[in-house]
Structures are given as structure tokens and as C-alpha cells.
Amino acid sequence: MGLYTSVCCILLVAVLNVSFTNGEDPYRFYNWNVTYGDIYPLGVKQQGILINGQFPGPQIDSVTNDNLIISVFNSLDEPFLISWNGVQQRRNSWQDGVFGTNCPIPPGQNFTYVLQVKDQIGSYFYFPSLAFHKAAGGYGGIKIASRPGIPVPFPPPAGDFTILAGDWFKQNHTDLKAILDGGNNLPFPDGLLINGRGSNGNAFTVDQGKTYRFRISNVGLTTSINFRIQGHKMLLVEVEGIHTLQNTYSSLDIHLGQSYSVLVTADQPPQDYYIVVSTRFTSQVLSATSILHYSNSAGSVSAPPPGGPTTQIDWSLEQARSFRRNLTASGPRPNPQGSYHYGLINTTRTIRLTNSAPMINGKQRYAVNSVSFLQPDTPLKIADYFKISGVFSVGSISDSPTGGGAYLQTSVMHADFRGFVEIVFVNPEDTLQSWHVDGYSFFVVGMDGGEWTPASRLRYNLQDTISRCTVQVYPSSWTAIYVPLDNVGMWNVRSENWARQYLGQQFYLRVYSPVNSWRDEYPIPKNALLCGRASGRKTRPL
């Protein structure tokens, strides 16, 4: 551990010497050691990925504009990367932590992420992005609090709880990866976890009469979930960094990769109550429970856990449409969220993305606009920086469905800096899709069943929709988003269904500025790892 600490300190000094951020913004330092360890989340011994011996990993507690210096030592026997779901990495896709932007951390080596939660608030999570590591753990919560003096549209809660829930398999991640590599689909999950444990493995203690904030993320691999608390209502206050109209819900659908904050008041008789998650849109319904424990509880949980919706798509669609932006609340800056009038801006381009599940060369793959993403031998961002030809070509995926047969390609789409684009996700399949865009928070302007046509724009919400980084597309439906392309970089657009992502349902959006200026994008980090065709090159003088 002495060598590990020394390496961390040397890298940290080097990184701080090249910080591009405002010196007035605080720094928070994290040293993480990533290891394998035995875990028993569903009662079966598995090889889990631990961070500092923990599953889930340590929570990141930060404040708007904090600089996060996260030194990651890879003690696994294979390459490793961490990505930061929802952290926008303003001007800094170098820190995004996916293979399109970063070389993996080799076994026995260290990499220090230097990132800033610039102009963000809210609830997010981190996760391992390579191979099928996400099926082994390695994830944790990210909380970004508002700066002092920035008004928050609800009183400070008495406590703040993070819930990381999702589906889980009893098979080790290497076995699941082998199933996918063999061209087959994954089996149905074996269960659900809440904060790394099965049913009744966690308890959240509350005082009667007080109000608490629950930050809930779906960190699963394949399945939407529904979240509810026995006998209690939930007041929705935040969706992935946006304060919402404070509507009350008895249960919430949370799709893959999504995060929500709710306020829950302990206003029931003093006893214990079930916290429940269950699968959505599955013929077999899985569920898991935790306990909401009143500190003055007079009894344990009673009656069966409350049931939730199962396959009702219309119910879920109507709930999603009810999420609205709080136009009078401040976001990370002291100005109303509604001051950016997205509905009055003309879009510069329309991109239609259709998902599919083709067989290619006799193996199951997944595609976007007929292109199934093929992992390159060199990270795209690094190849772009060094102008290495042959790694990718811009325009290798079209703006709209081709209707042709599916094929393998390292797909990269060009986008102009400061464009304002409309993206329509079209889902002709009978399974729900969940899409994520790195580097951005986008406006969800519309979703509906059937075919999207230009006339569908007449039904868009151009007044008070939420903006977020992950959105669902219901079966045989479409979802439309507006994206202000104000963040230069190479950004991953992917399915949050991890089997589909792994087998090709993703691509990269190259948001390009011809001005080589630090105002638009930070230069390559001096400590950037180089691999593939970039091996042996130099970043910048130390």
C-alpha cells in the first residue's frame, strides 16, 4: 500500500499543476482501490468488484462546481474504467471514463480522474464501463448539493438517503459476458438488489414527523423497476439535476440508468414499513424489499408488501408525461430554470435513431440505424487528438434509419458545436428501451405510441418539460428530445440495457469546434493513458 500511496501522491501533484478550473472552487480528494472480493447479494457466493472493500462503492458527496480528484488504483487482473453517469464533464470528455474517450487502466496501475461538477446539482451514480464489469458491482452514488446561498425549493430534509436498485444475476460477470460473446441473449435476472443486498438487507431509520430525501437510481442491467414505500406518499422534487413541480406519487417507474429524488414524510403510526422495488414490463415479476424503520417503532413490518404496476405501459407513459420542470426554482445558478426558453429556439437538425436486434454472422447483435457498434483498437477521442487515421470515420452512422441490413462498424456521428438538434428515438420493438447521452442534459419534449411524423411536433411540450440525461422509449413508440450542443467532445450515446450496449446499441457523437481554444475544450490531460495505435506517443510536456 505504500507504493500505491506514493503513486497517488505523485500523480496528484502533477494533475493539480495542470488544473484548468477556477482556483476558488473547492477540491475533494478520493483514493480508490478496486479489487475483487466475495459477495453474497442473493445468498450465492460471487466474485464482486469492490471499491475500498465496499459494495456498493463509496458515495461521492459534492457541491456545485467542486473539483473531484479521484485516484483509481486497479488491483484487478484485467483493464478497468469508471464512468460517471450524468456528470456532464463540461469541455472535458477526456474524463468521461468510457472506452471511446479513455484508455483502460491496466492491472496494477493507477489513473487519476480530474473532473468538475460544473454548473450541476442533483443525483447520479458511477459505474464500471468496460467488458461486463457492471454485472459485478463497482457502482456507487453521486450527490451534488446546491452551493450555499442558492435557494432550494423545499426545506432542508432531516436526512438524505441514497438507494441504488436494480436487477442482478447469480452468475459471475465473466459467465454473463461469455453468453453474450457466444451470440446469445442473457437469461432472465435472478433477483433485485437494493444497495447491494436482497430482500430486507437494509433498513433506513427515520424520526416520526420528519421529512427525508431519497435519491433513487436504477443501476441494473436489463430491467425497469417500480419503487414504492408502504403507507407513504412520495413528493417528486428532482430528476437528474432538475427541480420538478412537486407532484405526489404512490409509486415511481425508474428505467435503466435513471435517477430521481423524492421527499418522504414519516407521518404514519410508529412502526416499520416496507420499501419495495419490483420489475416492470416482465411476465415474471421480481421484487425486493428494505425496511423504513421509525426510530420509535412499536412493531415490525406487517401485511404483505404493497403491490405495484406490472405490464401497464399506458400508466407508465402518463406518469412520465406528468414530470414537469419547476420554472420558478433556481438550478445550480441563482436564476430560474425556466429562463432558458428552449421552445422558442429553432432546431438546426433532426436525427432519427431506430434500434433493432439483428443477427450478424450468426450471432445476436443490437444496432442503431442498422449499425452495430464495433469497439475500436484505440479510443476515438485519443485517435482524433493525434489524427490517427483508420480508427473511425465521421459519418459512419446516418442521421436516419436506412432500412438496410445491419452491419458492424465503429460508428461516429458528426455534430456542430452550438447546434440545437432534435433527436427522435424510434422503438419498433416490443421491449422498452432506455437511452443515455453522455455530456448533456436534454429536453424531453415528447413521447407517444405509434409512428413519429413531423406532425408529432404539434404535441410537443415546449413550455415546461424536464431535462435529463437518460430517457425511456416505450415498446412500439417514440421519444423526442431537444439537445443544445454546447459541450465540445466525443460523447457516448448508448442503450442503458447493458447487454444491448455491449453488443452494439451505441455510437459516438463528435461535437466539433474548429477553434482550437481552451474556451471550447480543455487540452488532453498530461496524465492521459495512451494505448492502441497511440502507444508511445506523448501528451504534453509535464
Assess contact for 216 and 163: CB atoms under 8 A: yes
| Cross-strand partners of 197 | 194
Backbone angles phi and psi of 474, in degrees to 5: -70, 160
Mean pLDDT of the chain: 94
Q: Are the CB atoms for 125 and 219 separated by under 8 Å?
A: yes
CA–CA separation, 288 and 19 (whole Å): 44
Sequence-distant (≥ 6) Cβ neighbours of residue 198 within 8 angstroms: 41, 42, 43, 191, 192, 288
Note the residue count of the chain. Answer: 542
| Mean pLDDT value of segment 60-72 | 98
Q: What's the grid cell of residue 504?
A: 452494439
Which three cell numbers mark 214?
Answer: 431519497
User: What does the pLDDT average to over 109-131?
Assistant: 97
Tens of pLDDT, residues 372-386: 999 999 999 999 999
> 273: buried, middle or exposed (CB in 10 Å: 19+, 13-18, 0-12)?
buried
Q: What is the pLDDT of residues 122-180, one digit of tens each?
A: 999 999 999 999 999 999 999 999 999 999 999 999 999 999 999 999 999 999 999 99
Give the burial class of 225: count Cβ atoms within 10 A of its Cβ; 0-12 exposed, 13-18 middle, 19 or more buried.
Answer: buried
The answer to whether residue 2 scores a pLDDT higher than 80 is: no
Q: Taking residues 273-293, what's their average pLDDT? A: 98
Beta bridge partners of 467: 443
Nearest residue to 252 (alpha-carbon basis) of 231, 226, 278, 270: 226
Question: What is the structure's pLDDT at 180?
Answer: 98
The edge-to-edge listing of strands for the beta sheet with 27-39 is 46-51, 27-39, 67-74, 110-116
More confidently predicted of 391 and 403: 391
Q: What is the pLDDT of residue 350?
A: 98
pLDDT at residue number 413: 98
Average pLDDT over residues 327-349: 92
| Mean pLDDT across 469-489 | 98
Q: Which residues contact 36 (CB under 8 A, 6 or more apart)?
A: 47, 48, 49, 50, 75, 76, 77
pLDDT band at 303 (very low <50, low <70, confident <90, very high): confident
- Asked if residue 14 has pLDDT above 50, the reply is no
Contacts of 483 (CB under 8 A, 6+ apart): 420, 421, 422, 423, 437, 440, 442, 443
Q: 540: pLDDT confidence band, cut at 50, 70 and 90?
A: confident
Give pLDDT, residue 541: 63
| DSSP notation for 235-280 | EEEEETTEEB---EES-EEE-TT-EEEEEEE--S-SSEEEEEEEES
pLDDT of amino acid 515: 87
Q: What is the pLDDT of residues 498-515, one digit of tens each?
A: 999 999 999 999 999 998
Pairwise CA distance, residues 124 & 200, whole Å: 24
| C-alpha 470: how far from chain center | 7
Please give the biggest Cα pair distance in the chain: 69
pLDDT at 22: 44
Model confidence at 190: pLDDT above 60: yes
What is the gyration radius of the CA atoms in the chain, in angstroms? Answer: 22
Mean pLDDT within 231-239: 98
Nearest partner of 193 among 163, 233, 222, 148, judged by Cα? 163
Distance CA 414, CA 403 (A): 21
Percent of the chain with pLDDT over 90: 91
What pLDDT is recorded for position 335? 86
User: Quick one: pLDDT at residue 13?
Assistant: 40
Residue 17 has pLDDT above 70, yes or no: no
pLDDT greater than 50 at residue 369: yes
Give the predicted TM-score (pTM) of the model: 0.94
Q: For residue 542, what pLDDT is reported? A: 53
Instruction: Kindly tell me the number of DSSP H helices and DSSP E strands found in the chain.
Output: 5, 36
